[in-house]
């Protein structure tokens, strides 16, 4: 069996801050005189036996001092013998000299380090503070110079303390009024998660539950999906009744092949009378370079109306009906539909059954809801029937179809019906004698259509003469072309509209046709055929004179054409050109408008303003944060304080590059580097101020985001998780530092929030000063221990990284956020576990572990140093190590232990309380740093299953555990043993640390009375010694013996 070559023979656990300086090297570890007061008393007591006592009158020795020197007779209540009291006072004074003597080592070190070697102690560093300064109402903008000071109360010596601005500060009335964010799923770009109220718990305004009040900067995948899509405003959508059909044909500029789509991929709505009206998508298809969407509405649905901001909200800058098409989430749908630019959009509309018409004949206005004498009471050749409609005749019509029914038609054909009108052998009239002509009113002129004749005409489109046609698709017969049958009661005929006739979308429609009407009507004119109203008296008289008294031979009363159920069907067609190369004139004269629907608004897109037009809004960033500012004037310098939850960034991601931009005429414009005046946040990884120079070209009249606000965007293309969570964003932020004077020095390294509220010298331009957070970056003068440690390390490694000790101590001295570091020689590990190689001469791998006591690790079970910090460590060490050493700085490899077992709780302990507590205890056992931040993480460790069993059964609420299985999950690239039940869990590499799996499988056993118990479902269990009711007895591990 092959051995594990990755198991570097490096059992070291690295160096942490607790063992950075061994106690034996502390200056006070060994004292010159270590005796305390009690030891000195005992010494004097023993010494007194060897000192003789003589009387004053002779030299004969009488005794020693031991009897007089009774140490036990020294009393604390002040009643000791005088000579013993003097001795006690001597010991107190001696302690002063003793202390001075014992400081010799430290003083000698100080003398050697400071005087001989010239190392100076680090001076105290004044603390800094962020201030929010509110401008007085009567001033628009103001500047405070860098000499401005603020009161910070008094110190312990009753001295006034002040903080002074670090630079000139320009401020205004601008305040943060709204914060939005979006997060784009990088694996499935259709999923765009929107947070309309980003600074809340759920992105919609819920309370923030995080202890520090932080919120996800870009939101997360639990947020609602954003509404994205496109919209079109067009007069073609002015359809008020009947069966309505809209067909959109989106033509891309390249062939994109076939894309599988279903109607459920789209959600369509249109501006209706009282709200947006949802419409059904009948069919969709995508072939080659064309996307086709067919939309239908039945006659029962409300009429489509012009967009009204008060009714429909949003902010479309149009007075035309608006059709919205939103994309419903589907795998890769966003990237598929937005894969190429759009060249044009063809809009085809069809309406069947328009009844709301204005009709009249030569005699006057008619009611279309009642039967109508189409040509009057005495129809003759030249009689007219006028049909008007603002909805229909303002459009660019492609076709028009008239539908109505005749009442009271003859039972036979017209030749038979009128046979007694004739004075001779020829028929008086036939079916085909009745013909009509359709004329179209355009600019006060009637334009005729000729029967069965195609007349070429020419119209000019974009400067090019193009042949057009006006024609009639029907045959012009009012009653049909068969003279041998009865005339049909239903009339239906389609007419083509001359292409030379232009649409008039601003039609000033007259409800009654007169000479003032310029457009909006068609005219049916009777051009042949006679109904006999003038001939009937003659024919009847002739019949009477001829004594034809038989009613059967009398002429029939003349037929009067009366119609009912008048409706019109029509179709329209328009094209929106979106290809590149549009002219300014085309932009300013546009009628139809195309919009991209974004998560928090919409924006018109036109090739003249945008160049390339895409069907959906371009979303190239993974995360975007939008900051809306009210009361903003331009130009100005805007200072924003970002309070972040430091350490909350995901350390597995590379540092993200933030792109700052402002919204100008619905387009994002990135700030030039020269206009980013200050960036203290290190890419939103630490709390700090970002100062931006807002140019005067910025406007607040936008629709992409809420109108009336000045919008700033912070966006990242990738690695959105590498940014910290945000606690607050506040405008008008300034930075001040403790003002050091000769007689006033900082006593504390920080002051609490709210201490500063006033200027030292009042200024009527400043309305209010707020200190939202405690001060920071203050440091006391370097302590003796820190000084000795720093200099001692420098003297040993000489600022060069050669040995393992050198690497580790250089890192700990330079990076306070690192708690433990381990240097592994001749080992290659670049973060890719599969590339780990413990036998790589010349390679040096540094493993860094963060100080979780001062960090906010997103995953406490696997605390990691941010990649940005790892890069800084590598850069720092590369300046100090050998040019021949290849350096890698990485986070530990975490190998997760998962437990599965059954547990019997002692009587009286509730399952819903103590099972979660058991999981917490198990986590603390396997990852002890989660309960005690000072716990040293063990590299290359191992743990026995029996140890876990023993520790868990020591818990007061655990009776016993059974069926214990232990699994070890390693990162991909190492040997996979996750399916094995292990007795010993051991790391695979010297860079590995054992940790707890996020969750464990723990089953509660209520009774183990014997075999057959349904709760005892384990099989093939080994015999173990299990603690049952406090006694250790050998039983089957299932407890089923």
Q: Does 289 share its domain with 310?
A: yes
Cα–Cα distance list, 453 to 360, 400, 497 (Å): 27, 17, 13
Q: Say whether pLDDT at 811 is over 50.
A: yes
Q: Does 743 share its domain with 677?
A: no
The answer to whether position 858 is within a domain reads no
Q: Does 256 share its domain with 322?
A: yes
In contact, 231 and 268? CB cutoff 8 Å: no
Check residue 456 and give its pLDDT. Answer: 32
Last residue of a domain, one of 68, 102, 136: 102
Average pLDDT over residues 1011-1020: 45
Distance CA 846, CA 874 (A): 9
Check residue 1034 and give its pLDDT. Answer: 39
Q: Say whether pLDDT at 483 is over 90.
A: no
Q: Does 751 share its domain with 684?
A: no
Last residue of a domain, one of 52, 68, 102: 102
- Orientation angle between helical segments 867-878 and 804-814, nearest 10 degrees: 120
1017 three-state secondary structure: coil
Last residue of a domain, one of 731, 752, 779: 731
Q: Does 601 share its domain with 537?
A: no
| pLDDT band with cut points at 50, 70 and 90 for residue 467 | very low
Comparison of pLDDT for 365 and 437, the residue scoring more = 365
| pLDDT band with cut points at 50, 70 and 90 for residue 902 | very high
Q: Say whether pLDDT at 472 is over 70.
A: no
The answer to whether position 7 is within a domain reads no
In contact, 420 and 555? CB cutoff 8 Å: yes
Enumerate residues 6+ apart whose C-beta is below 8 A from 615.
Answer: 230, 250, 291, 337, 338, 342
The answer to whether position 122 is within a domain reads no
Q: What is the largest distance, in Å, between two alpha-carbon atoms of the chain? A: 199
Distance CA 791, CA 781 (A): 15
Check residue 450 and give its pLDDT. Answer: 53
Q: Does 215 share its domain with 139?
A: no
Q: What is the pLDDT of residues 163-208, one digit of tens each?
A: 999 999 999 999 999 999 999 987 765 688 999 999 999 999 999 9
Average pLDDT over residues 975-980: 92
| pLDDT band with cut points at 50, 70 and 90 for residue 8 | low
Q: Does 373 share its domain with 311?
A: no
| pLDDT band with cut points at 50, 70 and 90 for residue 1019 | very low
Cα–Cα distance list, 315 to 604, 755, 911 (Å): 11, 45, 56
Q: How many domains in the chain?
A: 6
Enumerate residues 6+ apart whose C-beta is below 8 A from 120.
Answer: 114
Q: Say whether pLDDT at 263 is over 80.
A: yes
**Candidate from 528-542, 619-633, 882-896, 1027-1041 with smallest mean pLDDT:** 1027-1041
| pLDDT band with cut points at 50, 70 and 90 for residue 500 | low
The answer to whether position 595 is within a domain reads yes
- Interstrand relation of 15-16 and 818-825 (parallel, antiparallel or unpaired): antiparallel
DSSP letter at 324? E
The length of the chain in residues reads: 1041
User: Which residues lie across from 269 on neighbouring strands?
Assistant: 278, 324
Q: Does 602 share its domain with 552?
A: no
Q: Say whether pLDDT at 1028 is over 50.
A: no
Please name which of 290, 277, 278, 281 lies closest in space to residue 246, comparing C-alpha atoms.
281
**Candidate from 326-335, 667-676, 763-772 with smallest mean pLDDT:** 326-335
Task: Provide the token pair at 28.
Answer: 């006070």
Average pLDDT over residues 929-952: 88
Average pLDDT over residues 25-46: 84
Distance CA 767, CA 286 (A): 62
Cα–Cα distance list, 620 to 595, 608, 659, 714, 733 (Å): 18, 22, 12, 13, 31
Q: What share of the chain is helix, strand, coil (3-state, %, to 5)?
A: 15, 35, 50
Q: Say whether pLDDT at 1026 is over 70.
A: no
Q: Does 152 share its domain with 250?
A: no
Check residue 1025 and give its pLDDT. Answer: 38
Distance CA 966, CA 985 (A): 8
Q: Does 651 share its domain with 744?
A: no
Q: Does 255 share its domain with 194?
A: no
Check residue 61 and give its pLDDT. Answer: 59
Angle at the Cα of 910 from the Cα atoms of 908 and 911, rounded to 5 degrees:
135
Comparison of pLDDT for 80 and 702, the residue scoring more = 702
293 three-state secondary structure: strand
The answer to whether position 681 is within a domain reads yes
Mean pLDDT over the full length of the chain:
86
DSSP letter at 805? H
| pLDDT band with cut points at 50, 70 and 90 for residue 1014 | very low
Distance CA 342, CA 252 (A): 4
The answer to whether position 917 is within a domain reads yes
The answer to whether position 489 is within a domain reads yes
Record the pTM.
0.83
Check residue 7 and give its pLDDT. Answer: 58
Q: Does 715 share its domain with 656?
A: yes
Check residue 659 and give its pLDDT. Answer: 97
The answer to whether position 351 is within a domain reads no
**Candidate from 307-311, 454-458, 565-569, 830-834 with smallest mean pLDDT:** 454-458
Check residue 633 and give its pLDDT. Answer: 92
**Candidate from 77-81, 137-141, 213-217, 472-476 with smallest mean pLDDT:** 472-476
- Note down the domain range covering 745: 128-173+735-770
Q: What are the start-end ranges of the H helices in 4-156?
A: 37-48, 82-102, 104-110
Q: Say whether pLDDT at 851 is over 70.
A: yes
**Candidate from 654-658, 712-716, 1004-1008, 1015-1019 with smallest mean pLDDT:** 1015-1019
| pLDDT band with cut points at 50, 70 and 90 for residue 460 | very low
* Other residues' Cβ atoms within 10 Å of the Cβ of residue 610: 18
Q: What is the pLDDT of residues 367-393, one digit of tens each?
A: 999 999 999 999 999 999 999 999 999
């Amino acid at each position: 069996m092959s051995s594990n070559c990755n198991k570097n023979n490096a059992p070291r656990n690295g160096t942490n801050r607790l063992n950075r300086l061994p106690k034996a090297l502390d200056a006070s570890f060994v004292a010159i005189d270590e005796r305390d007061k009690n030891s000195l008393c005992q010494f004097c007591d023993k010494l007194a036996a060897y000192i003789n006592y003589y009387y004053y009158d002779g030299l004969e020795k009488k005794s020693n001092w031991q009897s007089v020197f009774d140490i036990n007779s020294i009393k604390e209540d002040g009643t000791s013998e005088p000579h013993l009291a003097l001795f006690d006072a001597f010991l107190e004074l001696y302690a002063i000299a003793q202390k001075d003597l014992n400081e010799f080592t430290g003083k000698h070190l100080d003398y050697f380090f400071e005087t001989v070697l010239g190392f100076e102690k680090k001076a105290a560093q004044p603390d800094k503070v962020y201030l929010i300064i509110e401008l007085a109402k009567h001033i628009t903008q103001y500047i405070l110079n860098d000499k401005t000071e603020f009161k910070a109360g008094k110190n312990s010596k009753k001295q006034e303390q002040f903080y002074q601005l670090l630079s000139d500060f320009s401020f205004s009335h601008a305040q943060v009024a709204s914060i939005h964010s979006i997060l784009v799923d990088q694996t499935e770009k259709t999923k765009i998660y929107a947070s309309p109220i980003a600074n809340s718990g759920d992105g919609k305004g819920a309370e923030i539950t995080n202890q520090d009040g932080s919120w996800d900067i870009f939101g997360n995948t639990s947020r609602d999906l954003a509404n994205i899509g496109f919209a079109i405003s067009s007069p073609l959508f002015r359809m008020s009744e009947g069966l309505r059909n809209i067909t959109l044909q989106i033509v891309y500029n390249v062939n994109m092949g076939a894309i599988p789509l279903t109607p459920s991929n789209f959600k369509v709505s249109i501006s209706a009378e009282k709200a947006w009206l949802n419409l059904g998508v009948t069919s969709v298809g995508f072939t080659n370079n064309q996307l086709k969407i067919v939309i239908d509405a039945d006659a029962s649905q409300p009429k489509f109306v012009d967009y009204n901001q008060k009714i429909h909200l949003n902010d479309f800058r149009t007075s035309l009906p608006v059709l919205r098409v939103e994309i419903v989430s589907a795998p890769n749908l966003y990237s598929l539909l937005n894969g190429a630019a759009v060249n044009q959009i063809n809009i085809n509309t069809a309406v069947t059954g328009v009844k709301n018409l204005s009709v009249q004949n030569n005699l006057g206005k008619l009611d279309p809801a009642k039967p109508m004498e189409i040509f009057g009471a005495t129809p003759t050749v030249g009689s007219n029937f006028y049909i008007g409609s603002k909805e229909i005749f303002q459009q660019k019509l492609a076709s028009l179809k008239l539908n109505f029914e005749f009442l009271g038609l003859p039972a036979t054909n017209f030749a038979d019906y009128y046979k007694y009108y004739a004075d001779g052998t020829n028929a008086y009239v036939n079916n085909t004698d009745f013909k009509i002509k359709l004329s179209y009113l355009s600019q006060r002129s009637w334009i005729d259509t000729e029967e069965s004749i195609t007349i070429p005409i020419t119209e000019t489109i974009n400067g090019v003469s193009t042949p057009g046609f006006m024609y009639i698709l029907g045959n012009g017969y009012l009653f049909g072309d068969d003279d041998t049958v009865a005339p049909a009661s239903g009339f239906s005929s389609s007419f083509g509209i001359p292409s030379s006739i232009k649409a008039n979308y601003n039609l000033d429609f007259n409800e009654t046709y007169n000479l003032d009407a310029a457009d909006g009507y068609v005219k049916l004119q009777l051009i042949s055929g006679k109904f006999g109203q003038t001939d009937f008296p003659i024919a009847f008289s002739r019949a009477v004179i001829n004594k034809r008294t038989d009613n059967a031979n009398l002429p029939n009363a003349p037929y009067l054409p009366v119609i009912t159920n008048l409706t019109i069907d029509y179709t329209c067609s328009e094209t929106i050109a979106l290809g590149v190369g549009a002219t300014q004139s085309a932009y300013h004269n546009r009628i139809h408008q195309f919009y991209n629907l974004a998560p928090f608004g919409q924006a018109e897109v036109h090739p003249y303003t945008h160049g390339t037009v895409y069907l959906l809004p371009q979303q190239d960033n993974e995360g975007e944060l939008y900051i809306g500012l009210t009361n903003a004037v331009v130009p100005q310098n805007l200072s924003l304080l970002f309070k972040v939850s430091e350490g909350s960034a995901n350390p597995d991601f590379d540092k993200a590059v933030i792109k700052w931009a402002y919204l100008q005429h619905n387009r994002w414009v990135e700030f030039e580097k020269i206009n980013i005046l200050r960036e203290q946040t290190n890419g939103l990884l630490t709390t700090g101020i970002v100062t931006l120079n807002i140019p005067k070209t910025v406007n607040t009249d936008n629709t992409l985001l809420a109108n009336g606000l000045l919008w700033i965007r912070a966006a990242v293309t990738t690695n959105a998780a590498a940014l910290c969570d945000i606690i607050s964003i506040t405008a008008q932020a300034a930075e001040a530092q403790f003002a050091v004077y000769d007689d006033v020095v900082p006593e504390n390294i920080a002051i609490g929030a709210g201490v500063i509220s006033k200027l030292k010298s009042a200024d009527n331009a400043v309305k209010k000063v707020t200190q939202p957070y405690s001060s920071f970056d203050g440091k006391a003068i370097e302590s003796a221990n820190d000084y000795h440690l720093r200099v001692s390390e420098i003297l040993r490694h000489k600022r060069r990284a050669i040995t393992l000790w050198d690497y580790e101590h250089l890192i700990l001295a330079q990076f306070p956020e690192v708690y433990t570091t381990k240097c592994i020689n001749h080992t290659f590990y670049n973060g890719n576990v599969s590339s780990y190689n413990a036998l790589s001469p010349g390679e040096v791998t540094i493993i860094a572990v963060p100080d979780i006591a001062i960090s906010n690790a997103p995953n406490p079970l696997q605390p990691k140093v941010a990649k940005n910090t790892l890069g800084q460590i590598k850069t720092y060490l590369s300046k100090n190590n050998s040019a021949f050493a290849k350096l890698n700085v990485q986070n530990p490899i975490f190998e997760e232990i998962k437990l599965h077992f059954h547990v019997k709780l002692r009587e009286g302990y509730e399952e819903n309380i103590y099972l979660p507590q058991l999981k917490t205890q198990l986590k603390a056992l396997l990852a002890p740093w989660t309960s005690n931040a000072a716990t040293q993480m063990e590299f290359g460790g191992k743990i026995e299953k029996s140890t876990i069993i023993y520790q868990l059964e020591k818990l007061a609420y655990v009776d016993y555990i059974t069926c214990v299985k232990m699994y070890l999950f390693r990162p991909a690239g190492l040997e996979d043993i996750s399916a094995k039940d292990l007795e010993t869990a051991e790391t695979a590499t010297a860079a590995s640390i054992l940790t707890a799996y996020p969750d464990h499988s723990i089953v509660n056993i209520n009774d183990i009375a014997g075999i057959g118990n349904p709760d005892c479902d384990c099989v093939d269990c080994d015999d173990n010694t299990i603690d049952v009711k406090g006694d250790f007895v050998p039983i089957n591990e299932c407890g089923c013996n």
